[in-house]
Structure 1
Amino acid sequence: MAMQDWLVTNEGHCLKLEVVAPAEKLSRPYRLYRFLTDLEDIVETVKDDHERLKLIFPLVRRLLNSSEWLQMNFLPPDPATGWSVLMLYDEPDFPITAQTVVWAPGSISPIHNHGTWGIVALLNGQEKNTLWQRYPTAELPDHIAEVGNIQLQPGDLIGFMPDAIHHVEAIGDDPTISFNLYGETNYPQRFEFDLTQSSAKNF
């Protein structure tokens, strides 16, 4: 399976990164609790989000390669919304959230940022990410413009800096299934953007 790592900057530029797959062969499964412990060590010692993400990518690949249960642990998309979220880990006062997300074919998310770093690993289907950047004016402080797009295939990982703005679209005939990992998700700077009104509201 072909795989690629991508990193979206705060300005919406998509950088192609070298894929660093763990070389060692594990004698036992790399379980979620071990992954979270290794992740905590990075979060506590590395304060720069760009550097954090580059260190976290190999851990996510190790988890996906070792934990087949992730491939099967998801909810079918809600017919009303076209998507579903299954929370795998969310602990109060600990800035890590892990979940699986499913989008029905043709579903499109709102334009949004996350207000924190994040990594999405595509497990199934195809997903198009359209990337945006703020171009504020005195009259329209939340004006945005499209920067580009990237299409993800199974095995691809994409990381987002806190102010990266995007929306996702499930393309093809199959649902998209992804493993999503985020830092703190209760930040007040997480917004949904209205392109026609050039406005933003808390998301």
Structure 2
Amino acid sequence: MTHYNWLVTDDGQCESFGTVDNEPPAQTYRLYRFLTELEDILEREPDDAKRVQAIIPLVRKLLISAYWLQMEYKPPSKKTGWSVNFLYREHEYPITVQMVAWAPGSQSKIHNHATWGIVAMIGGEESNTFWRQAADDPKEITVVGEKMLYPGDIIGFTSNAVHRVSPVGDEPTISFNLYGVTDRSSRYKYDPDTLVADKF
């Protein structure tokens, strides 16, 4: 089965940069090696888009090889409609690794992450809607597109990409999420009706 690699840039454009058939790596690829190679990429590549495109193949290799990671999620909360299970956080290390689950019928806020991010779909189907921030005012956004994601698809975001996640169907969505260091001063959420911005 063919799976897609997607990149969403600050202007809300979502473009494919390759398709793959998931094949197990020749050798076991472990989390510690993934984190080491990830750190090497971050040190040599300052551009968000290039970082994401370099990291996504490593994410795919990790998830195929270290299958146990795909089981490390918590059921979505009945109160919030979602759950997060942190797989890796370390003081002064610029990476957050987590498993995220969304309940059917739930929906995220419209938001940016104010850092690069990668989301690998493990289970369920998910609709992502994309907005573009105004060049002169990040609090103003315009909707520009939508993309359906399926298990095996991986999508990356540059720092100011704005999106909303909506599970589709009757099953929870499960994803492996990876983020850099968030710039809290430029992270926003937007009212879904008025699109008025507020600090996240």
Relative to the length of structure 1, the TM-score reads 0.92
**Aligned-partner Cα distance in 2 for 1:51–1:23:** 24
The 1:165/1:5 distance shift into structure 2, 3 A limit, reads: same
2:6 maps to what in 1? 6
Hey, which of these two has a bigger chunk of strand by percent?
Answer: 2
Q: For 2:55 and 2:148, how far apart are their aligned partners in 1?
A: 21
Amino acid at match of 2:160: D
Map 1:118-137 to 2 at 5 A. Answer: 118-135=117-134
Within the candidate set 172, 179, 193, 2:169 is matched to: 172
> 1:152 — aligned with what?
149
Give 1:15's aligned residue. 15
Q: How many residues align?
A: 200
- Using a 3 Å threshold, how does the CA distance of structure 1 residues 42 and 21 change in structure 2: closer, same or farther? farther
Q: Which residue of 1 aligns with 2:185?
A: 188
Q: Distance in 2 between matches of 1:166 and 1:184?
A: 18
Q: Which SS does the other structure have where 2:3 is aligned?
A: coil
In structure 1, how many angstroms separate the alpha carbons of the residues matched to 2:116 and 2:180? Answer: 6
SS of residue matched to 2:185: coil
Deviations 1:125-166 (A, max 9, x none): 0000000112378xx862222101000000000000000000
Structure-2 separation of matches of 1:21 and 1:162: 28
Report the residue type matching 2:74 in the other structure.
L
CA contact (8 A) 1:110 1:167 kept: yes
1:99 equivalenced with 2:98 (yes/no): yes
Distance 1:146 1:155 in 2: 26
2:39 aligns with 40
Distance across 2 between alignment mates of 1:173 and 1:155: 18
- Give the match for residue 199 of structure 2: 202
Q: Which residue of 1 aligns with 2:79?
A: 80
Q: Which amino acid aligns with 1:83?
A: W
User: 1: distance between equivalents of 2:164 and 2:24?
Assistant: 35
Task: Check whether the contact 1:136–1:144 (CA below 8 A) recurs between aligned residues.
Answer: no
**Gaps in structure 2 of 5+ consecutive residues:** none
The 3 A distance-change label for structure 1 pair 141 and 66 is: closer
The answer to whether the Cα contact below 8 Å between 1:191 and 1:202 also exists between their aligned partners in 2 is yes
Q: CA deviation at 1:25?
A: 3.7
Equivalent position SS for 2:139: coil
Measured on the aligned residues, the alpha-carbon RMSD in Å equals 1.9
Alpha-carbon distance, 1:198 to partner: 3.7
Taking only the aligned residue pairs, the percentage that are identical comes to 51
- Work out the CA distance in 2 between the residues paired with 1:50 and 1:84: 27
Instruction: Determine if contact 1:136/1:142 at 8 Å carries over to the other structure.
Output: no
Q: 1:48 to 1:124 in 2, by over 3 A?
A: same
Shift, 1:50, TM fit: 1.2
Separation in structure 2 between the aligned mates of residue 124 and residue 3 of structure 1, nearest angstrom: 13
Q: Would you say 1:109 and 2:108 are equivalent positions? A: yes
